[in-house]
Amino acid sequence: MHNHYVGRFAPSPSGQLHFGSLVTAVASYLDAKSHNGKWLLRMEDIDEPRCIKGVDKDILTTLEAHGLYWDGDVIYQSQQHARYQAVLDDLLTQQKAYFCTCTRKQIKAMGGVYNGHCRTEPVHSNTQDCAVRLKVDTQLEAFDDVLMGKVMPSNSSSDLIAEDVVLKRRDGLFSYNLVVILDDVFQQVNHVI
């Protein structure tokens, strides 16, 4: 990856752009431009049933009305399914992800945190009605935060850290956990405000 500043703003077209989102857009835009960087725009419309038709155009118009002009084309997550599925298939082939049949009710009975049941008891039935989870086997790493400096997360601070996250939901929708990372890598985003 290059060292040139690449920032982004990624609203969800599930409602009009509210004041807090506009403040975030302005902050990320100004930070990118003050570093002579690129400011990209991505529509996080991956949860299509929650998106409202035409709101994406309203968001673009609002940003332009406030003098916020993005670099390059707007990326729509809803148009990236083939790329997401290719990565998911690769993770499954490499056995870095697995199918999971556990329901929310079952996870609640586990204490509210998924315990890896389907990781240790693999699903051998029809995988159509399954979620896909990522095997989380790595330790948390330190990272640099613009305001807080070096952040050293504790690997024992929460059970949520070790939970195998859902990459594709049972209903067939890709999860935010997967697509936001893939899109940031694809767009070479290296600064998020």
Q: Are residues 88 and 172 in the same domain?
A: yes
pLDDT of residue 187: 96
Q: Are residues 64 and 122 in the same domain?
A: no
Structural domain ending residue among the three candidates 46, 79, 112: 79
pLDDT of residue 160: 44
Length of the chain (residues): 193
Residues 6+ apart with CB under 8 A from 63: 9, 17, 25, 41, 69, 70
Q: Where are the beta strands (DSSP E) in 10-163?
A: 38-43, 75-76, 97-100, 131-134, 143-145, 149-151
Q: What is the pLDDT of residues 15-31, one digit of tens each?
A: 999 999 999 999 999 99
Q: In this predicted model, which residue has the larger pLDDT, 130 or 112?
A: 130
Number of domains forming the structure of the chain: 2
pLDDT band at 156 (very low <50, low <70, confident <90, very high): low
Q: What is the pLDDT of residues 120-145, one digit of tens each?
A: 887 766 677 899 999 987 777 787 88
Residues 6+ apart with CB under 8 A from 98: 92, 118, 119, 122, 123, 132, 133, 135, 164
- Does 140 reside within a domain? yes
> Which segment of 66-80, 103-117, 140-154 scores lowest on mean pLDDT?
140-154
Domain CATH number, residue 163: 3.40.50.620
Q: Are residues 91 and 172 in the same domain?
A: yes
| pLDDT of 67 strictly over 90 | yes
Q: What is the pLDDT of residues 160-170, one digit of tens each?
A: 456 899 999 99
Q: In this predicted model, which residue has the larger pLDDT, 29 or 158?
A: 29
Q: Are residues 157 and 129 in the same domain?
A: yes
Pairing of the two strands 131-134 and 97-100: antiparallel
**Looking at residues 107-128, what average pLDDT do you find?**
80
- Does 183 reside within a domain? no
**Looking at residues 154-175, what average pLDDT do you find?**
77
> 119 has which bridge partners?
none
Q: Are residues 103 and 156 in the same domain?
A: yes
Q: Are residues 62 and 132 in the same domain?
A: no
pLDDT band at 155 (very low <50, low <70, confident <90, very high): low
Q: Are residues 44 and 69 in the same domain?
A: yes
Structural domain ending residue among the three candidates 47, 79, 111: 79
Q: Are residues 66 and 97 in the same domain?
A: no
Structural domain ending residue among the three candidates 79, 102, 123: 79
pLDDT of residue 157: 53
Pair 8, 192: CB distance under 8 Å = yes
Which domain covers residue 102, as residue numbers?
A: 81-177
pLDDT of residue 141: 76
